[in-house]
Chains A and B, each alone.
Chain A
């Protein structure tokens, strides 16, 4: 059974629209993360959450907003989408933010037209 679920697997959006990427983990972890992988850049860290609180934000744009409704959920809302937002977005989790070993979900591939 998958331990980290990301939905949807593929997503196509038009410029200017808003989308929410879903992430649920069933590993019993207390820390969750978002990473982005695009064609132009290596996999890069976006956010970290611990016990549903934001710990670190390395995303320059406020168009990216994580949302944690439950301890094992960390969704990513992206507003005013741009073609440069096209990427695969990975959710990850770890026991605590002090545990460097992180487990990754399968990713959501977002294409913005």
Chain B
């Protein structure tokens, strides 16, 4: 069965510092991978997605993620965080076959707090 693990429930960084949020997945093959962000009292917004090709994908607001098939990972990075980046970040997996299997599998989320 497919699964997503985000090992860090909470991460705190200072404004201007770099960030890495970790994500490991379990899937037989190469899945579709996403990072979604949930700001306080809001719905989820897509940050970036990986389907195939270049393992480093760029997203909105300066975020990027790197896919590693050998490590079964899809870590999220940002060079310099801003206080407005404080939110919960979800690593998400989807079965590329799609169709009736197009449901998303979510990690538990990592709550990012940025100290000013």
User: How many residues of chain A get a CB closer than 8 Å to chain B's CBs?
Assistant: 27
Shortest Cβ distance from A94 into B: residue = B102
Q: How far is the CA of A43 from the CA of B90 in the complex (A)?
A: 9
Instruction: Report the minimal beta-carbon distance from B99 to chain A, rounded to whole angstroms.
Output: 6
Q: Does A60 contact B (CB under 8 A)?
A: no
Q: Contacting chain A: which of B18-26, B42-50, B66-74?
A: B42-50
* B108 & A42 in contact (Cβ 8 Å cutoff): yes
Query: Contacts A97-B98, A100-B32, A100-B96: A45 and B46 contacting too (C-beta < 8 A)?
Result: no
13 contacts between A and B (CB under 8 A): A31-B102, A42-B108, A43-B106, A44-B106, A48-B100, A56-B101, A90-B44, A100-B34, A100-B49, A100-B94, A100-B95, A101-B34, A103-B46
Instruction: Identify which of residues 80-108 in chain B touch chain A, using a CB-to-CB cut-off of 8 Å.
Output: 90, 94-96, 98-108
Number of A-B contacts (CB under 8 A): 64
* B107 & A45 in contact (Cβ 8 Å cutoff): no
Interface bracket on B: 20 to 34
Q: How far is the CA of A66 from the CA of B70 in the complex (A)?
A: 40
**Residues on the A chain within 8 Å of B101, using CB:** 56
Q: How far is the CA of A15 from the CA of B98 in the complex (A)?
A: 37
Q: Does A55 contact B (CB under 8 A)?
A: yes
